[in-house]
Structure 1
C-alpha cells in the first residue's frame, strides 16, 4: 500500500508541476510569419512572354532529361549489355541495379563526351553570348546528335521506321526527320546489345553444360547444376578479367 500510495503521490506531483509550468512552455504569441505575395501583372512587351515560354521549355526539358538520355545516347546499349553479364553469370542481385545504372551512366558520359563538347562549343556557348537565336542554337545542337545516331543506326531499322512513317524514301540524311531517326536508333541499339549478350552467354552456357554432364554421370541427380556451376562461372569471369573485356568491347563498339 505504501508503494501504491507513493507512486500515486508522485504522479500527482508531476501533474501539478506541469500545470504550474504551462506558461513557461507556452510559445510566444507574436511569431513572425513570412508572407508570400505574388503580383500578377500584364506583360509590357513580347520579350516578357518569350522569357516565360523559355523558362517553361527549360523546365520541360529538365523533366524529360532521363528519357532524352535513354533515346539519343549510348546508355541503352551499355545498360542492356551489363544486364546480360549479370544474368549469364547467374547472379540475380550482384552487382546491384544501382551499380549497373551508375556504371552505364558514367560510360555514357565517356562515350558521348565528343558529342557533348561539340554541342557546347557550337550551340550553347554562342547562344549564351547572344550570337545566335534559339532556333539556330537548336539546329547546331541537334546536328552532332543526329550524326552520332546515323553512325550507329542500321539501314534495316531506318528503312523500317521510314516505311512506318509512310514518307518518301529519303535521298540523304538531311531528309530523315528526327522523329523517325530516334526510334530507329533505339531499335538498332537493342539489336546490337542483344547480339553482344548472346556472345557473352556462350561461354557460361558451356560451363553449365559441362557441370550438368559431370553431375549426371556421377549420379547426383538431386544436386542442382546451377548451384555447382555458379562458383566456376564467377572464377572464370574473374580469371579472364571479364569486366575489362566487357567494358572494352562495349566502348569500342561505338567507334
Structure 2
C-alpha cells in the first residue's frame, strides 16, 4: 500500500516538473523523484499520524485476542488511508508553497525542498510535546530557541515520533481496559464453576468480538482517533 502511494506521488510530481524551461532541470527532477520514492516509506511512517494509528490498531487486536485478524496489511492500509485524510491540509500547503512554484520554474529544487518541509514541520510541532523537544534540543547542543517554531526539522521529527508513540500507548491502554475486564470476569466465572478443561480465552474472545461489533466499535474508534488530531 505504501509503495502504491509512493508510485502515485511520483507519477503526480514528475509531469508537474518536466515543463521547466531549463533543459538541465530534467535530470535533477528525475533524481529528486527517485530520492523521494526511496525516502517516502520512512517519511510516511515518521512524519504523519500513521505511528499513532498503527499502535492503537495493534493494541486493539491484542485486546480482542484475534491474533492475526485483521491482518497487518489491512491495518496498514487503514492507517495509511486515515493518515492521507488527516494530512490533506498539509499536503495542500506543500503543493501551493513548493510544488506549484517549482513546476512553473519560479524556484529551484533546493528552494522547493525548503518550502516543502515547512508545513509538515509546523504540523509535527503542533503535536510534539515540550519534554520530547527538550531532549533532542539538548542532544543537538542547540541554544534554547525563543519560540518552538524556530526549532529545526532534525529536532522536531524525532520529538514528534516520541510524542505520537506515547499518545498511541495511552489510547491503547485505555482501549485495552474494558476487554481486560471481560477476560477477568470470564476467568472468574469459569474457575468458580470448575470449568478447568476449557481455557477462559476460548469463551471470552467471541464475547469481546460480539461486544465490539454491537457497539459499532470500528466507527467509534475511527471517530475518536480523528478527533484526537
TM-score by length of 2: 0.86
* 2:56/2:172 contact within 8 Å kept: yes
Q: Give the CA deviation at 1:162.
A: 1.1
Higher RCO (C-alpha under 8 Å, 6+ residues apart): 2
Counterparts of residues 74-113 of structure 1 (less than 5 Å): 74-113=49-88
Q: Give the CA deviation at 1:202.
A: 0.3
Instruction: Specify the alignment match of 1:4 in structure 2.
Output: none
* Bigger Rg over Cα: 1
Out of 185, 188, 200, the residue aligned to residue 175 of structure 2 is 200
Unaligned 5+ segments in structure 1 are 1-46
Q: Give the CA deviation at 1:63.
A: 1.1
Instruction: Specify the alignment match of 1:177 in structure 2.
Output: 152
Unaligned 5+ segments in structure 2 are 1-21
Instruction: Specify the alignment match of 1:158 in structure 2.
Output: 133
Q: Report whether the alignment pairs 1:139 with 2:114.
A: yes
Instruction: Specify the alignment match of 2:6 in structure 1.
Output: none
> How many residues get paired?
208
Distance in structure 2 (CA, Å) of the matches to 1:183 and 1:99: 26
**Which stretches of structure 1, 4 residues or longer, exceed 3 Å deviation after superposition?**
47-54
Distance in structure 2 (CA, Å) of the matches to 1:89 and 1:239: 14
Q: Give the CA deviation at 1:97.
A: 1.1
Deviation digits for residues 93-120 of structure 1 (CA, Å, limit 9, x no counterpart): 1111111111111001100001111111
Q: Report whether the alignment pairs 1:209 with 2:184.
A: yes
TM-score by length of 1: 0.77
